[in-house]
Chain A
């Protein structure tokens, strides 16, 4: 392969000296970036490093305060997302941006529909063009079905089809793999490679470093809004990249302490919820971290929700410290010492418009009441205490949580539940979408909790995390527990075999 960055073709899209501030926050400072046709370029950086702002600048959502966007070497100004699209730039955002009520065909051609006489929409041409795109991508999605209910992977396919439909020359993908299973990631990468080979420039963002190394040729690193380096990935190691992103050597990513497990803290017996999971039995001992692995949709989150009492179970029983839990009653689960840190922190873990202080305080409303009234002082000191313990980065404890980066939001959710001093902690995807630095801190924290005698059940789709942190790995496949693998025997192969139902 030629190296376009040396002498070859000119960059299709370039940023020169871009700066952008939001109020007092300088999101980007003097950032430059060049995208060449036929390359997949990684954009790396911790949460809050300015990646999202950079993408939105390329997409025409934000206008830079200073600096230039160059398209084919000529400066351009995007007045809105429509301008960027007309310039051949397609963005696939982390959060899907489809219209749930409209058909797939309409989603793809929104804003640029084929017309017939009298400027009417040509529904048939729209549909046929969509069918052709789906064929080209090798997926079977009915152009007429509404986008509502599509899996994340299929939603991304629709977004990619949208990009193909206007022959995008630049494809920007913001953490496209965060919610995908391994086979879906493989399908996505197949599509990305095909696009690259057809001469498209792809800007790829992922927190999974191995993916960056797998599919990208060069990487641009941002730290705190500043450009750090743009360089080929050849010859770099994951540690090199992490050092660029974090600006320091990272303490070990999986700081698992050896602990001798104590008595059984959580016991789940023959738990069944019809059509969702069947006959699930396991124990978690004090001091133990038990990983719960499996493909997305295997029923892991559903088991956690039932154990905690959010959903009812149809058969079986759950004991915490020998105390039977009532079916469908989170309050008794909490009273028994169970805590659940949910998968979707924005929707389920936090009240986004409330302060850090009050979010952490939510689980302690009983403990911080004096004579029937809230003791605001007690709430504040309790929240401050935990925010400091977990090293949450914030300006003031009274700031709303939506001002925090994803990683810090996750810490607030953790603080909220740790403040209840649980005996059993269930964490669902504790590090999804958060940066390596914070990830290591969350791991250190989980390890510390286990060492202090808390029983931890960790649901995670991040295999290295499961292998690195868990004393034992439970694997679910299609609603059933298919394997229990001790730490010493757990490898990617054994876990994946069980997760895909190939286990012996």
Chain B
């Protein structure tokens, strides 16, 4: 049998490059689509209520989104590795209260925020260790830690409550202050978001998170330190939940044992609406942040349009289902586009 030496694969370049661009476009479009929905929604609201985009209005929109953006950024990292962290709401609540107690006793605000972050890192490590070493599904493990952390929080806090009056004035002012329409808190969230996105794109550790979410077995065979990476993702997610707790305290000044309860579902919704695929390996933190912005904006848009806020939950649900449907359709489209290319290739 004669063998065709390498060098005679009769393929033309043009259709491939074209299809790649198409595929590229589709993936980039995912984030653009959310942005478009967001902008249309805001434009329509502004048209119906010219007060909506006042300086204070914009500030409120951004402030409302800030905390969710932070937590969603951390969650996105975990979801990209094909895991999930349901304990973020509990972590946020307990870190906020811990920072509040410290500040109440006259502590330094920066040290208070650091305390919240450290607490978050601790819980993140716990989750990461349980998931990566225990080989137990993340959904179950973090559902467990959700209740454990919330339980500890309830025992510790009891019926106590921290209010803005208990906190240093500068801390509360920082929480509501900003540079014209842009709150300081939003700047913090933005800095974290941009840094995270840059890491994911330009560092091996970041790309390896995508790799192990995309095909865990292949990741192991490629010599990627799978457990270490998963541990890192959870730790980062916990740290951001802790930081979000400190920002929550600064923003609302009001924390009790129920703070952050049920928040994990909002976070997961934001991440999925933002196009981070729940089965891992795909999506971006920018998408997750846009998802968070979209979900929180709906909260402001409905009252501004005179719609009862009872609709918020239902609309969030519709968005979630819509996002998943869109992802599915896009995935099928992309798959068939790639298949067609193979046919041409063969």
CA of A283 to CA of B316 in the docked complex: distance in angstroms? 56
Residues in B whose Cβ lies below 8 Å from that of A297:
343, 346
Closest Cβ–Cβ distance, residue A137 to chain B (whole Å):
5
Q: Which one of B3, B24, B282 has the highest number of Cβ atoms from chain A below 10 Å of its Cβ?
A: B3
Known: A142-B20, A144-B20, A145-B20. A110 touches B4 (CB 8 A): no
Is B40 interfacial (CB-CB < 8 Å)? no
Residues in A whose Cβ lies below 8 Å from that of B218:
97-99
Is A394 interfacial (CB-CB < 8 Å)? no
CB of B215 within 8 A of CB of A61, answer no
CB of A101 within 8 A of CB of B282, answer yes
CA of A333 to CA of B7 in the docked complex: distance in angstroms? 48
Is B6 interfacial (CB-CB < 8 Å)? yes
Interface flags for A67-94 (1: CB within 8 Å of B; 0: not) read: 0000000000000111101000001010
B residues 288-346 touching A (CB-CB < 8 Å): 334-335, 338-339, 341-343, 345-346
Is B105 interfacial (CB-CB < 8 Å)? no
Known: A100-B214, A149-B338. A140 touches B13 (CB 8 A): yes
Residues in A whose Cβ lies below 8 Å from that of B24:
144
Closest Cβ–Cβ distance, residue B70 to chain A (whole Å):
24
CB of A138 within 8 A of CB of B5, answer yes
Is A374 interfacial (CB-CB < 8 Å)? no
CA of A111 to CA of B219 in the docked complex: distance in angstroms? 9
Is B16 interfacial (CB-CB < 8 Å)? yes
Nearest neighbor of B217 in chain A, beta-carbon distance: A97
Residues in B whose Cβ lies below 8 Å from that of A120:
202-203
**Size band of the interface chain A makes with B:** 35 or more
Interface flags for B143-158 (1: CB within 8 Å of A; 0: not) read: 0000000000000000
CB of B222 within 8 A of CB of A111, answer yes
A residues 378-400 touching B (CB-CB < 8 Å): none
Interface flags for B199-239 (1: CB within 8 Å of A; 0: not) read: 00011100110110111011111111000000000000000
A residues 231-249 touching B (CB-CB < 8 Å): none
Interface flags for B106-129 (1: CB within 8 Å of A; 0: not) read: 000000000000000000000000
Nearest neighbor of B202 in chain A, beta-carbon distance: A120
CB of B3 within 8 A of CB of A110, answer no
**B23, B221, B224: which contacts A145 (Cβ < 8 A)?**
B23
Nearest neighbor of A151 in chain B, beta-carbon distance: B342
CB of A138 within 8 A of CB of B207, answer no
CA of A141 to CA of B11 in the docked complex: distance in angstroms? 9
Closest Cβ–Cβ distance, residue B264 to chain A (whole Å):
25
**Size band of the interface chain B makes with A:** 35 or more
Interface flags for A128-144 (1: CB within 8 Å of B; 0: not) read: 00000000111111101
Interface flags for B1-30 (1: CB within 8 Å of A; 0: not) read: 101111111011100110110011000000
Is B281 interfacial (CB-CB < 8 Å)? yes
Residues in B whose Cβ lies below 8 Å from that of A123:
202
CA of A82 to CA of B215 in the docked complex: distance in angstroms? 17
Known: A110-B224, A149-B342, A297-B343. A102 touches B211 (CB 8 A): yes
Q: Binding site of B, secondary structure by majority: helix, strand, loop or mixed?
A: helix
Residues in A whose Cβ lies below 8 Å from that of B5:
138, 190, 194
Closest Cβ–Cβ distance, residue B177 to chain A (whole Å):
33
Residues in A whose Cβ lies below 8 Å from that of B1:
186, 214
CA of A136 to CA of B221 in the docked complex: distance in angstroms? 25
CA of A237 to CA of B269 in the docked complex: distance in angstroms? 63
Known: A101-B281, A102-B207, A113-B204. A187 touches B214 (CB 8 A): no
Interface flags for A112-133 (1: CB within 8 Å of B; 0: not) read: 0101000111010000000000
Residues in A whose Cβ lies below 8 Å from that of B338:
145-146, 148-150
CB of B19 within 8 A of CB of A145, answer yes
Nearest neighbor of A96 in chain B, beta-carbon distance: B218
CA of A339 to CA of B8 in the docked complex: distance in angstroms? 42
**A106, A138, A142, A145: which contacts B8 (Cβ < 8 A)?**
A138
Is A16 interfacial (CB-CB < 8 Å)? no
Q: Which one of B208, B214, B281, B342 has the highest number of Cβ atoms from chain A below 10 Å of its Cβ?
A: B214
CB of A187 within 8 A of CB of B6, answer yes
Q: Which 5 A-B pairs have the closest CB atoms?
A: A82-B223, A149-B338, A138-B6, A101-B281, A97-B218
Which A residues are within 8 Å of any B CB, using their own CB? 59, 61, 80-83, 85, 91, 93, 97-102, 106, 110-111, 113, 115, 119-121, 123, 136-142, 144-146, 148-151, 154, 183, 186-187, 189-191, 193-194, 214, 297
Given A149-B341, A190-B4, 8 further pairs, Cβ under 8 A: A99-B210, A99-B218, A99-B219, A111-B222, A145-B341, A151-B346, A154-B342, A190-B5
23 contacts between A and B (CB under 8 A): A81-B221, A97-B217, A99-B214, A101-B281, A102-B207, A102-B281, A106-B207, A113-B204, A113-B207, A119-B203, A141-B16, A142-B16, A144-B20, A148-B334, A148-B335, A149-B334, A154-B345, A186-B3, A189-B3, A191-B6, A214-B1, A297-B343, A297-B346
